[in-house]
Structure 1
Amino acid sequence: MDKNSNIFKPIHIGKVISKNRIEVAPAGAFLCSRDGGNNSEFLAYLKSLAKSGAGIVTLGVSSVDEQSSGVPVTNVGNSLYISDLADIAEVIHRYGALASIELISGQYMLMPPEVVATGSSKKLIKHIIELFANAAERCMIAGFDMIMIHGGHGNVPAMFFSKKHNHRTDEYGGSFENRCRFGQELLEAIRVKVGNRIAIEYRISAEELLEGNSEIEETLEYAKKIQDKIDIIHVSRGLLQEEALLPYIFQPTYFPRAMNLEAAKRFKKELNIPVSVVGSFDLETAEKAVSSGDVDVVAMIRNILADTNCVSNAYKGKSDQTRPCVRCNTCINRTHTQFIRLRCAVNPLIGRETQFPEIVETRHSKKVVIIGGGPSSLEAARVASKKGHTVVIYEKDSELGGALKMAAAASFKKDLKRYLDWSIRSVISDPKIDVKLNTLATPENILGQNPDVVLIGVGAKPIIPKFTLSGTDKVVWVGDVELKKVPVGEDVVIVGAGFTGLEAALSLAEEGKKVKVIDMIPEEKIGADGIKISMIGLKELLKKAGVTFICEVKLSDVTMEGAVIEDKNGNKETIPCDTVILSLGVRADKEQVELFRDLVEETYVIGDCNTKGGTLWNATRTGFDAAMEL
C-alpha cells in the first residue's frame, strides 16, 4: 500500500473535499473539561488524531444540550463554547484534515427510547430539533467543515424512527412516513441554518439486530427519503442500550473485521450519495472495500489510537512500521464502561500527550540493561533507543515476547500476534538494542555490562496449587496448553474464568473438545473486573461453542476420575474429565525483583512484576513510563 492506493484518492463530500478516504471515527475520549470546554490535554489528543494523515477527523459524542451534564463531552449547546470549537477546528486543519463533529443529545439519549419517542410533546420535539440546528450553526461559525448527526445506535433520531418504541398516533408516529418525519425535519432545520456551507454526514444503524427492531430494508427506504438532505451516510449496526449488542458495535478481537460491510454495500448500491462504513476495519480491509467500489469512505478509530502514524505510514509505503491495534477494547471500556479518560493498551502516549515531552535523543546517552523480554521490556527498549540510549536485553528463553506468546497463540488472536510480531521485529532490527537470547540474567553478568540503568521486567509466576495428581498429564497449566506444550484430553475442566481461562476454553471447544469452566464467583460476575464489551462477545461465542459453567465452587482435588469440586456449603462432587487445566492467575516474581533491585542506583521495575493484574496496558505503560524517565 502506498500513495497510489485507492484510499488516498480525494473525494468530494458536499462542497468540501477530503484528501483521502479515511475518516477518524467519532469516539468519546473524556479528555475535555467537565463543562465540555477545551483544555490542553484534549487539544493535544486531537492534534495526535489530526497528525495521523486521515482525511477527516470526527470529534465524537458532542452534546447539543443547553445545560452541561457534568460528563466530560464536548459542549455544542451553548454559544459561549464557539471559541473552544474554533480551537478544535484549527488544530485539525493544521494537518490538512477536514474537521467534523458528531452531534448527539446527551440528555435524551440516556432516556428509555419509548419515553422520548412516544412521550415527547410536539413542543419538545420542536425544541430538540432546534437544539440540533443551533448546534450545527455554532459548528459552522467555529470553522468546522462537516457535522455528523448520530441517527444510529438508538440515539434520538433512531428512537423516533423505531417501529418498536414509537407508538405515537400523531404525524410523528405510527406509519413509516410518520416515523421518518422527525429525521427529515431535523435535517431540514439544520439546512436552514447552515445551507451548503457545511457538509452533513448521517450515522445510521442499518439494522438494530434485535427482533422487532429496525431492519435493513426499512432503514434503506428511510435513507432514500433523507439522502437529498445529507452529503454522506455513515453505516453501522446495533443499539447502545442493549449490552448484548455492544460487541457488534465495538467488535473485539474474537469477531471478524468489516462486519458492517455487507450492509454498507446495499446502501452504496441503492443511494446516490457517498457511503462511509465503520466496524473493525484496518487500512488493508479499507483499501479492499474502497477499491472494489463497495463504499466511498472507511471510518476507524482504534487503529489510529494504536499508532497515530498509521495512515501516513501507509501513504509512504511503510505500513510494516505501524504498531497494530489488538482490538482489546481497553480504549472503549475505559470511556463507555468506567467513564474514565481514554487510553490505549499498545500506545501509552495517546491521551497522555501533555504528560510527556516529544521523544528526542538525549545529549547524555546511558547504558540501559533490561532483564526479561516481555512486552514491557520491549516497549522500554524501543523508547530508550529513540532517546539515544544503548540497550541490552537479557532473555532466558530462545525468543522474545514473554507471556504475550501464550496470549497470542489462539487462532482468534491474530490481532495480538500481529502486534507481538511487530514488537519483536522493531526491537530486533534496532541497531542500538542488543538482544541476548537463551541467556539467564544474573547479578554478575548484569554488572559486567557496567549499566547506568537497570530495568527489571522478570514478569510473574503462575499460581499452581498442588493436588493429588499434580505433576501428571491430568493437571496442566493453561500457558502450556495455549503453547501446545502438553497433551489435552477430549473432556476438559478449566479452573478459572478470567480472560485467559475463557480464551483457552473457546480455543479447545473450537477443536471439538467438551469443555467445562469452574470458578468461585457467580456466573453473572465473570469478567466484571475485565474489559466488559470484549467479555460479552467472548461469552456469546463460548455459549455457541457449547462451553458450560459451574460457578460458586472451588477445586478441591484432582483424581484419576476427574476434578473434585466443593461448593460454599462444603458439599463435594467429582466432575469426570480427562484433563484439568489450571488458570488461576499469576503473582509478581518478587524474588527475582529483589535479586536485581539494588545493583545500580537507577533501577526501575516494569511489567507484571510491578503491577497487579497482567494486562497489556499495564505492561506497555510501565515500560514506557520508565524509559521516559531516563
Structure 2
Amino acid sequence: MNNYQAIFEPLTVKRMTLKNRVVMPPMGTNFANMDGTFSMQHISYYEQRAKGGTGLITLENVCIDYPMGTNGARQLRMDNDQYISGLWHFNEKMHAYGACTSVQINHAGASAYGLRLEGEQPVSASNIPSKKGNPIPRPLTEEEIYGIVERYADGALRAQRAGFDCVEIHAGHSYLLSQFLSPLYNKRTDKFGGSPENRARLTKLVVEAVRKAVGPFFPISLRFSADELLEGGNSLEDTIEILSYFAEEVDILNVSAALNDSLQYQIDKMNLADGWRAYMSKAVKERFPDKVTVTSGNIRSPKRATEILEAGDADLLAMGRGLIAEPNWVNKVANGQEDLLRKCISCNIGCADHRIAKARPMRCTVNPDLHYEDDYKMKPILHPTKMVVIGGGTTGLEAAATAAEVGVSVELFEQKEYLGGLGHEIARFPDKKRIDDFITYEINRCKELDNLAIHLNRAATLKDIEAIGPDIIVNATGAKPLLPPINGLKEQLDNPNRKIFSIFDILDDMSKFQEFEGKEVVVIGGGAVGLDVVEYYAERGAKKVSIVEMQGEIGKDLDLITKLAMMEIVEKFDVEVHVETKLTEVRESSFLVEKDGEMIELPFDLGFVCLGMRAEAPMIRELDQYARSNGAVLLNMGDSKVARRIMEGTREARDILKTIEVLENTRTQKMLFEQTKSLQVTQTI
C-alpha cells in the first residue's frame, strides 16, 4: 500500500467523502427484474464490489422516462416513487461497507430498446440512428425536450431521496444528451442545433434543472464522450469548448470516449494500453482545474493507477471491467496482494458481448461467479477427497485451485514445461498479451495452496492415476488445430522448406515470424485465430494480407468489440477479404480457392491455415473405464469437451464445486446410515 498511497487518499466533493480514489462506473448488467427492480443476485453483485473496498459505487444507468428512455429489457427504473424503497435498500447495503454511492440517470433516445417501445418510434435530436442498422428515430419537439428536462430533475430528486451520495448525468455514448451534443446526430436548425452552444443547450438545461432539484450541496457528476473518435464527430478540443456551457454547476467530470460506431474505444479493446485515456482527462483538468475529474480505460495495474493520480491527470480512477473481474482490487492492493489480482483481460466477451449483442445476463471470462465471489471457501469439505487434473490450461488450473480451496487434495499433470495451455500460447501475440495476466493469477493462486501439487513436463498415465486413487478425475487436455483432408495440405506441412504453417507453428516460435516488410500473407480461416494472424502481420507492415473464409462473413463468432476492432484493421490496412470462398488445394507458394464456381489462385510468401480447433481427449476412454471400475467421478471439461473460449472452461471448472457437494452429501448420508445401523444393532443387543 505504501507504494500506492495516492490510490488511498480520501477525497471530499461537497458533502461526500470518498475513502479512496477507485470508482466503479455504471455498467449495464441485465441482472434487474423485468419490472425494473433489483433481483437478489443484482444486489449481491454490487455488494461484492463494496465489500472489496471500492470508494464510490455508481449504479448502472437507470431509466427516468419509461418506456421511451429505456435501453434494455432488464434495466433498473426510477421513473416513479415506487422504486425508491428498492434503491434505498441498495444504498444501505453499499454504505454498510463504507462505500459512497452514485446513480447514473439516463434517457436512451435513439438507443432505446425496441421491444419496450411497443411500436413507438424512438426519439432523438434528429432522424439519425444511434448506430448503423438501428431504427430511424424522430426529432423531438421543443415541448417534448422541456418535458424530458423535467424527467431528469425528477430522477435526480428521487436519487437524493433514495439515499445516494451523488447523482451522475449521462451525456455520452450515443444516448440522448450525446445525440444532441454530437454533430453526427444533431442536424437540427432550431435553438437546439447547429452551433456548439445550441447543441449544448439541452445538457445545460438538464444540469441546471438537476442542480435546482438537489440543491447546492449535493454532488453532480457528468459523464461524457470527450473524443467521439469518428470522422465528423466531436474531437477532444470540441468537447472541452462544449463543456464550458454547462460545467459550472457540475462537480465531477467523468471523462469517457467514443460513440456506438466507435464502441471498441468506449468498451476498450484488448490491445489498448493501461489508462490510455488519461491524456483526455488531463486536458479536461487543465481547462477546468477546480473540477474533480475521472479517467478510465483498461486501468488494471496499481502502478499505472498511481502514476495517473500522482501526475495530476485525474482525481479518480474508474475501473469498470477491472472490478467485474476483481471485486477485491482495492483490498488486495492495500494488503500487498498484488500478485493475486485477477486482472480483467479486456476480452469483452461476458461483460459486453453477452449483454449488448446477445441480451444475456453479464458474465466474465476470468471471474466465474460475479455474485458470491469467495463464499464457497467458507464451506470446506468434511470427508477426505482426492482429485487428479489432467491438463494445466486455464480450465485445469481453475478446477484445481477451486477444489483445493475447499480442502480437496489435488494433483495436476501438465505434459508441457509451462502452464496456461492455449491461452498462454495465444498470449504470445503482442495484441493478446493480457491473457497471460489471468494465467499468472491462476499460477499464483495455486502456489498458495499446500494441498495442490503440480507436475510439469509429465503426461498423466493410468499408472499415475491408479497410484493416487482419486475420487474425482478432471480431464482438461484442451484442443488441437483442425486440419481437414485438403489436397496438398499434409504434404506442404511436412515439407522441410515449407511456406505454409498452422497457428501453432507461429505460436511455438514467434522469432521465426519476424519478417514483415515486402511479405505477401494469405490466411485461410476467418475466425478468431485467423484474424489474430491477420492483425499480427497487417499492423507490422506486411506488403499485402489476404484472408479466406467459407462463410458469408469474417469474424462471425467474435464478440462485438473484437469484431469492430478487427474490421477497423481490415479497413485501415486494406486487407483483401474473400468470403464464401472454399480452399480446394494447397500448393508450395499458393492456395487454390473456389468462389462462385471459379477457381482462383492466391500466391503468398507465407500461408497460414487457421480452420479452427477440435477437442483433444486422448485418454478419455481409459479414464472412463477406470472411473466406472473404481467408483470415481470423471469430468471432461473445457476445450477437451468442445473447443470454445476461455470463459466456458472457467465456468465449467468452477462448477467442480457441484460435483464435490454431491460427493460430500453422498458420503454424509452413507455415514449417517452406518451410524444409525450400528446404533440399531447396539440397541438390539
Partner of 1:547: 575
Unaligned runs of 5+ in 1: none
Q: Contact (CA 8 Å) 1:496, 1:518: kept in 2 or not?
A: yes
Deviation at 1:303, TM superposition (A): 1.0
**Other structure's SS at 2:258 match:** coil
Quick check: 278-287 or 484-493, which moved more? Answer: 484-493
Partner of 1:619: 649
Matches within 5 A, 1:122-521: 122-240=142-260, 242=261, 245-271=262-288, 272-282=290-300, 283-330=302-349, 331-351=351-371, 357=376, 359-466=378-485, 467-468=487-488, 469-472=492-495, 473-484=498-509, 487=512, 490-513=519-542, 514-521=544-551
Partner of 2:621: 594
Deviation at 1:352, TM superposition (A): 6.7
Which amino acid counterpart does residue 105 of structure 1 have in structure 2? H
Find 1:557's aligned residue among 585, 595, 600. 585
Counterparts of 1:509 and 1:119, CA distance in 2: 42
Counterparts of 1:319 and 1:183, CA distance in 2: 41
Deviation at 1:165, TM superposition (A): 3.7
Deviation at 1:440, TM superposition (A): 1.7
| Alpha-carbon spacing, 1:179–1:532, altered in 2? closer, same or farther (3 Å) | closer
Task: Tell me the alpha carbon deviations over residues 488-541 of structure 1, each in whole angstroms, 9 at most, x when there is no partner.
Answer: 58433221111111112222344544432211122xx32232211112112323
Task: Tell me the alpha carbon deviations over residues 207-233 of structure 1, each in whole angstroms, 9 at most, x when there is no partner.
Answer: 222333223333213322322211111
**Other structure's SS at 1:198 match:** coil
Partner of 2:133: none
Counterparts of 1:22 and 1:184, CA distance in 2: 28
Please identify runs of 4+ aligned residues in structure 1 that moved more than 6 A: none
- The alignment's TM-score, normalised by the length of structure 2, stands at 0.86
Find 1:95's aligned residue among 94, 97, 107. 97
Quick check: 107-116 or 32-41, which moved more? Answer: 107-116
**Other structure's SS at 2:556 match:** coil
Partner of 1:62: 62
**Other structure's SS at 2:404 match:** helix
Q: Contact (CA 8 Å) 2:308, 2:314: kept in 1 or not?
A: yes
Which amino acid counterpart does residue 483 of structure 2 have in structure 1? I
Task: Tell me the alpha carbon deviations over residues 444-484 of structure 1, each in whole angstroms, 9 at most, x when there is no partner.
Answer: 22121111111111212321124422412233211221221
Deviation at 1:169, TM superposition (A): 4.4
Kindly name which structure, 1 or 2, has the bigger radius of gyration based on alpha carbons: 2
Find 1:609's aligned residue among 640, 655, 679. 640
Quick check: 58-67 or 261-270, which moved more? Answer: 58-67
Q: Contact (CA 8 Å) 1:21, 1:298: kept in 2 or not?
A: yes
Q: Which has the higher contact order (CA 8 A, sep 6+)?
A: 1
Quick check: 359-368 or 170-179, which moved more? Answer: 170-179
Partner of 2:7: 7
Deviation at 1:121, TM superposition (A): 2.0
Counterparts of 2:408 and 2:529, CA distance in 1: 35
**Other structure's SS at 1:349 match:** coil
| Alpha-carbon spacing, 1:568–1:65, altered in 2? closer, same or farther (3 Å) | same
Counterparts of 1:159 and 1:225, CA distance in 2: 17
Unaligned runs of 5+ in 2: 113-121, 129-136, 661-685
Which amino acid counterpart does residue 646 of structure 2 have in structure 1? L
Q: Contact (CA 8 Å) 2:174, 2:259: kept in 1 or not?
A: yes
Matched, 1:527 2:544: no
- The alignment's TM-score, normalised by the length of structure 1, stands at 0.93
Which amino acid counterpart does residue 586 of structure 1 have in structure 2? M
Counterparts of 2:140 and 2:4, CA distance in 1: 51
Which amino acid counterpart does residue 287 of structure 2 have in structure 1? E
Deviation at 1:292, TM superposition (A): 0.6
Counterparts of 2:473 and 2:422, CA distance in 1: 21
Partner of 2:601: 574
**Other structure's SS at 1:30 match:** coil
Q: Cα RMSD over matched residues?
A: 2.3
Q: Contact (CA 8 Å) 1:65, 1:106: kept in 2 or not?
A: no
| Alpha-carbon spacing, 1:163–1:107, altered in 2? closer, same or farther (3 Å) | closer
Counterparts of 1:414 and 1:628, CA distance in 2: 32
Q: Contact (CA 8 Å) 2:376, 2:406: kept in 1 or not?
A: no
Which amino acid counterpart does residue 63 of structure 1 have in structure 2? C
Task: Tell me the alpha carbon deviations over residues 339-382 of structure 1, each in whole angstroms, 9 at most, x when there is no partner.
Answer: 1100000000115769x855532222311111111110000111
**Other structure's SS at 1:225 match:** coil
Deviation at 1:291, TM superposition (A): 0.7
Which amino acid counterpart does residue 172 of structure 1 have in structure 2? F
The number of aligned residues is 622
Counterparts of 2:507 and 2:336, CA distance in 1: 35
Counterparts of 2:378 and 2:634, CA distance in 1: 21
